[in-house]
């Protein structure tokens, strides 16, 4: 049984209220405020959830409070989108305390984030059956410093038909060809850490797997890829889209690992596609059907990311 496209949230319009949550690490005050100002400049009304600015060591408050904020933001009918302030660490710790039954009742809602937020992308896909956006977060330095990164997210949220076809000028062909499937994935080590949990996908047939990471040495990338392979994550894939590998060691060593672990799958693979921990960074929808052209370096979605 192949992966099926998930439910699409509605697009945003000026005046929409968007909830800001901190499901993982705390956000620096100045960066947090600067990100909110960008959202306001788009005509949005950021709603900072009660515990979004909390700090508890390396976490943005307690697991219970972070989960409560996420649940409340999704369940509030006046909130059009939920935006993670930053990644870091901690999303996996609060997942089991989210009221997923309530989110299922509400259905799809635009959700933006990446890195540690990969754990929530997987949970939303499997439990709410809603598509999400692997995109930059307002407290991230690249979001504040890169106009190209901000504009691509803005278009995805407000005018998604304009970015229905993603074209990466940095993309390189690792294995040529075309493939159509449903996008899923995110940060490699978070996906590997989810194996054996409630967010462990049992079937990825027909999927287009997106992978990226940061700060992982080549042997640790190899280990995570090997774990995914042994867990069945490479069986039946339609194709693979690789993003950035910032601060992961010498580029040639990282490429050698990716080529050895993924090049033998017999499916199209494109590398350096320009999403993840890089600048500029593309926003990539997860849970929707797209066609990968690994020779041209494009990812063309069958429908706009938001309806």
Annotation says 134 is catalytic: no
Q: Provide CATH code, domain 17-162.
A: 3.40.50.10740
Catalytic residue (choose from 51, 121, 152, 277): 277
Percentage of residues of the chain with pLDDT beyond 70:
100
For residues 24 and 193, the answer to whether their CB atoms sit within 8 Å is no
Residues of the chain with CATH 3.40.50.10740: 17-162
pLDDT above 80 for 106: yes
Question: pLDDT tens digits, residue range 178-221?
Answer: 999 999 999 999 999 999 999 999 899 999 999 999 999 999 99
pLDDT above 90 for 97: yes
pLDDT above 90 for 234: yes
Catalytic residue (choose from 122, 199, 212, 271): 212
Question: pLDDT tens digits, residue range 140-150?
Answer: 999 999 999 99
Sequence-ordered alpha helix ranges (H) in the chain: 29-41, 63-75, 91-94, 100-106, 118-123, 141-145, 147-158, 188-193, 218-230, 251-262
Q: Give the pLDDT mean for 15-30.
A: 96
CA distance 3 to 289: 9
Q: pTM to 2 decimals?
A: 0.98
pLDDT above 80 for 88: yes
Q: Which residue has the higher pLDDT, 2 or 79?
A: 79
CA distance 100 to 109: 13
pLDDT above 90 for 95: yes
pLDDT above 90 for 28: no
CA distance 19 to 165: 28
Annotation says 277 is catalytic: yes
Catalytic residue (choose from 115, 131, 139, 168): 115
Annotation says 212 is catalytic: yes
pLDDT above 90 for 2: no
Q: How many CB atoms lie within 10 A of CB 228?
A: 21
- Please confirm whether the linkage preceding 252 is cis (ω < 30° from 0): no
Q: Indicate the length of the chain as a whole number.
A: 307
pLDDT above 90 for 236: yes
Residues of the chain with CATH 3.50.30.60: 165-301
- What pLDDT does 228 receive? 97
**DSSP-assigned states of every residue in 288-299:** SEEEEETTTTEE
CA distance 212 to 221: 10
pLDDT classification of 254: cutoffs 50, 70, 90 = very high
Q: Which CATH homologous superfamily contains domain 165-301?
A: LD-carboxypeptidase A C-terminal domain-like (3.50.30.60)
- What pLDDT does 1 receive? 63
255 is written with which tokens?
């490429």
Question: pLDDT tens digits, residue range 122-162?
Answer: 999 999 999 999 999 999 999 999 999 999 999 999 999 99
């Amino acid at each position: 049984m192949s992966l099926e496209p998930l439910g699409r949230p509605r697009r945003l319009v000026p005046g929409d209220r968007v909830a800001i949550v901190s499901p993982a690490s705390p956000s620096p005050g100045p960066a947090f405020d600067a990100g909110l100002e960008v959202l306001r400049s788009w005509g949005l009304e950021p709603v900072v959830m009660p515990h979004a600015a909390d700090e508890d060591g390396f976490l943005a408050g307690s697991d219970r409070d972070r989960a409560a904020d996420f649940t409340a933001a999704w369940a509030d009918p006046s909130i059009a989108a939920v935006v993670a302030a930053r990644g870091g660490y901690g999303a996996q710790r609060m997942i089991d305390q989210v009221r997923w039954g309530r989110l299922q009742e509400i259905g799809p809602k635009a959700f933006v984030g990446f890195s540690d937020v990969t754990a929530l992308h997987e949970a939303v896909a499997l439990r709410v059956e809603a598509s999400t956006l692997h995109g930059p977060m307002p407290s991230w330095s690249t979001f504040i410093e890169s106009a190209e990164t901000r504009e691509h997210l803005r278009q995805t949220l407000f005018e998604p038909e304009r970015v229905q076809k993603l074209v990466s000028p940095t993309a390189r062909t690792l294995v040529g060809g075309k493939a159509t499937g449903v996008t899923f994935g995110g940060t490699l080590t978070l996906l590997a850490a989810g194996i054996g949990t409630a967010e462990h996908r049992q079937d990825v047939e027909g999927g287009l797997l997106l992978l990226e990471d940061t700060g992982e040495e080549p042997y640790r990338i190899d280990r995570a890829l090997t774990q995914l392979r042994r867990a069945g994550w490479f069986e039946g894939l339609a194709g693979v889209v690789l993003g950035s590998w910032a601060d992961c060691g010498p580029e040639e060593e990282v490429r050698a690992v990716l080529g050895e672990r993924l090049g033998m799958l017999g499916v199209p693979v494109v590398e350096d596609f320009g999403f993840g921990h890089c600048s500029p960074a593309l926003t990539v929808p997860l849970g929707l059907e797209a066609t990968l052209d690994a020779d041209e370096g494009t990812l063309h979605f069958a429908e706009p990311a938001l309806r």
